[in-house]
Amino acid sequence: MLKRILVLDNNQLILDTIQEALLYEKFEVKITTDSKDIIENIQSYKPHLVILDYKVSGPKGDAICRQIKNNPHLNDTPVIICSAYLSDNDMELCGCDAVISKPFGLAELLDKVNNLVYS
């Protein structure tokens, strides 16, 4: 069974790049630019990992992350926040499991994804 990853970003090029890299690594990937119904999407898709852009329209990535971590049905789902505004030092503040600073390389992305999905 493939591990499922849901990715939210407002940049379609970034979404396409992440999706292609994760598909190549044999993950099942769902991408979206819509943060409005993200919790419902997570509940229905049941991902093994969620990757959130920090600065999206609507609720920001840290607010979405806190919603995930405060939901008893979702709180064990690892969350990575991608941001040009945050660093690893902000993980606790956001409640996420990892931060990837933009711009990022695919090796860093895949390393953090694999560490969280297979740990």
Mean pLDDT in the chain?
92
Residues 58-83 have a mean pLDDT of: 94
Cβ-based neighbours of 111, under 8 Å, separated by 6 or more: none
Q: What is the model's pLDDT at position 95? A: 87
Quick one: pLDDT band at residue 84, thresholds 50, 70, 90? confident
Please tell me whether the overall predicted TM-score, pTM, comes out greater than 0.75 for this model.
Answer: yes
Q: What is the model's pLDDT at position 13? A: 95
Q: How far apart are CA 4 and CA 12, in angstroms?
A: 19
- The domain limits of the chain are 4-117
| CATH code, 4-117 | 3.40.50.2300
Backbone phi, psi, residue 104, to 5°? -130, 160
Give 8-19 pLDDT, tens digit per residue.
Answer: 999 999 999 999
Pairing of strands 49-53, 28-32: unpaired
Q: How far apart are CA 27 and CA 77, in angstroms?
A: 16
For the cut 70, the answer to whether the pLDDT of residue 69 exceeds it is yes
Where do runs of H (alpha helix) occur along 58-98?
A: 61-70, 91-94
